[in-house]
Amino acid sequence: MKIIFCIDLDAFFASVEQRENPELRGKAVVVGDQKIGRGVVSTASYEARKFGIKSGMPISEAYKLCPQAIFLPVRFSLYQKVSYNIMEILKKYGKFEQVSIDEAFLDVSEKIKDFDEAKQLAILIKEEIYEKEGITCSIGIAPNKLIAKIASNFKKPDGLTVVKNEEIKSFLSPLSVRELPGIGPKTEKVLNEIGIKTIGDLAKADILLLIEKFGKIGMDFHRMAKGIDNEEVSEKHEIKSIGREHTFERDTNDLKLINRMLESLAKEVHDELRKENFMFRTVTIKVRYEDFETHTHNKSLNFTDSLEDMIFVGKKLLSPFLHSKKRIRLIGIRVSNLMKTQTKLNFS
Ligand code: TTP
Ligand code: MG
């Protein structure tokens, strides 16, 4: 039997800001793009969430909900550095897989005898992260990645939730189907319409009906609802992609402005790649029109670390979208399929 940890940092960007400036501790802090009237919330401290502020919400709406909150710009390279330090701590304790800037899995099955020992280890890891990096995390411990992930979200912030084999059913059953990865508001609505609200309902549902409603993925929903997941913790990719986006002050179809912005975003992505010693294979661009219609388009190359390649491919991918009558609201560029050119990273 496996023992898997899922570790997710609490209100990550906001927690780092609170650590950097202790006066912000205990206060409503909102980190996001600062463009007046157009920015979006990256994250909010738990104090700010009490007012209903959430990731992805326009800053203007957040301001209406809580005008006394402290609004801060995103300092991505600072968060990247803190993330790096924390991931280095986690790596020591088992087979390690980083899934995002603030989330990782650990398979400790080889090192730990049972779930009680695992809980003790999780307490030590939480203490070490807090002592060294001054921020809290939530940890879920379970026999597989799926349940560990759901358990890590169960008691946030500063949570620790252990789900043993024999507890899987009683843990999952009462939770909303939204707790399952891949089930968003649209799928939830369709499930609700056929009387399925909880994961327990989904586990009991007629699989043929699920396939009729959702196609093959209906089988995955059913499998997840039963808590079945055999995916290994994989050490392959630590950071999967690096990207930047920009929302224009005003929707635009000024080709010069759009191309210049693409170059500047590519430069930022490239700086980040350099710092991490990565080469990349795939370039993806994103375009959002004024009516929020959004497209992404990608192309893969041979491994390269060249900024010129990134800009050349980025512009080529972007060009078919520049001849629409609609104006452009946002563009983004992302590189993925990354490979480390040096294994040891140095942050000054
Ligand atoms: P999450 O782990 O989803 O959120 P969180 O760490 O802020 O809060 P929680 O305690 O619920 O885990 O995302 C990690 C960071 O990624 C988050 O701090 C900011 C960034 N992010 C965005 O920039 N935009 C988004 O829409 C989301 C969801 C996250
Ligand atoms: Mg988090």
Per-residue pLDDT reduced to its tens digit, 123-171? 999 999 999 999 999 999 999 999 999 999 999 999 999 999 999 999 9
State residue 165 phi and psi, 5-degree precision: -45, -50
pLDDT tens digits along 253-304: 999 999 999 999 999 999 999 887 788 889 999 999 999 999 999 999 877 8
Say if ligand 1 is within 6 A of residue 10 CB.
Answer: yes
Q: For tokens 């007012």, what's the residue?
A: 51
In this model, does residue 7 exceed pLDDT 60? yes
Atom of ligand 1 nearest to the CA of 46: 10
pLDDT digits 0-9 by tens, 30-78? 999 776 567 889 899 999 999 999 998 999 999 999 999 999 998 877 8
Provide the pLDDT for residue 74: 85
Q: Which pLDDT band holds residue 237 (cuts at 50, 70, 90)?
A: low
Residue with CA closest to ligand 1 atom 5? 11
Q: What is the pLDDT of residues 180-210, one digit of tens each?
A: 998 989 999 999 999 999 999 999 999 999 9
Hunting for tokens 């319409």 — which residue is that? 193
For residue 345, what pLDDT band results from cuts at 50, 70 and 90?
very low
Average pLDDT estimate for 221-250: 89
Rounded CA-CA distance 343/348 in Å is 16
Centre of ligand 1 to C-alpha 110, Å, is 31
Probe residue for ligand 1, chosen from 55, 98, 99 as the CB with the greatest number of ligand atoms within 8 Å: 55
- State which amino acid sits at residue 273: L
Nearest ligand for residue 31 CA: 1
Q: How far apart are CA 278 and CA 178, in angstroms?
A: 35
Q: What is the pLDDT of residue 343?
A: 38
Structure tokens at 143: 């026999």
CA of 341 to the centre of ligand 2 (A): 28
Residues linked to residue 294 through DSSP beta bridges, in sequence order: 288
Work out which ligand 1 atom sits closest to the CA atom of 74. Answer: 23
Mean pLDDT, residues 322-332 taken together: 95
Token readout for 275 is 């710092």
Residue 156 backbone dihedrals phi, psi, to 5 degrees: -105, 150
pLDDT value at residue 275 = 84
Q: With a 6 A CB cut-off, is 82 part of the ligand 1 pocket? A: no
Whether residue 103 lies in the annotated active site: yes
Other CB atoms within 10 A of residue 115 CB = 17
Residue carrying the six token digits 């209406």: 64
CA–CA dist 49, 56 (Å, integer): 13
Rounded distance between C-alpha atoms, residue 97 and residue 103, angstroms = 9
Interval between CA 43 and ligand 1 midpoint (Å): 5
| Furthest-apart CA atoms within the chain: distance in Å | 63
Strand 241-252 vs strand 278-289: parallel, antiparallel, or unpaired?
Answer: unpaired
CA atoms within 13 A on the CB side of 297: 14
Q: Does pLDDT of 348 surpass 60? A: no
d(CA 200, CA 198): 5
Say how many Å lie between the CA of residue 102 and the centre of ligand 2. Answer: 6
pLDDT at 308 over 70: yes
Q: Which of 6, 7, 12 to mutate to test the pocket of ligand 1 (most atoms within 8 A of CB)?
A: 12
Q: Is the CB of 102 under 6 A from ligand 1?
A: yes
41: left (phi over 0), alpha (psi -120 to 50) or beta: beta
What pLDDT sits at residue 340?
Answer: 64
- Using alpha carbons, list the distances in angstroms from residue 44 to 32, 126, 134, 169, 301: 9, 21, 17, 32, 37
Residue 311 has phi, psi (to 5 degrees) of -70, -40
Nearest ligand atom owner, CA of 100: 1
The reported pLDDT for the residue numbered 90 is 97
How far apart are the C-alpha atoms of 119 and 259, rounded to whole Å? 52
Cα-to-chain-centroid distance, residue 81: 16
Distance 113 CA to ligand 1 centre (A): 33
Ligand nearest to the CA of 157: 1
Q: Which of 103, 133, 272, 276 is catalytic?
A: 103
CA of 211 to the centre of ligand 2 (A): 32
The answer, yes or no, to whether any atom of ligand 1 lies below 6 A from the CB of 56, is yes
CB 331 within 8 A of CB 308: no
Q: Which of 83, 102, 179, 241 should be mutated for ligand 1, with most atoms under 8 A from CB? A: 102
Average confidence (pLDDT) over 307-323:
95
Q: Which residues pair with 295 in a beta bridge?
A: 287
Q: Ion ligand 2 — residues with CB under 5 Å?
A: 8-9, 12, 102
- Point out the ligand nearest to the CA of residue 158: 1
> d(Cα 63, Cα 10) in Å, to the nearest integer?
22
Q: Find the 179 Cα to ligand 1 centroid distance in Å.
A: 16
Q: Is the pLDDT confidence value at 236 over 50? A: yes
Whole-number pLDDT of residue 56: 86
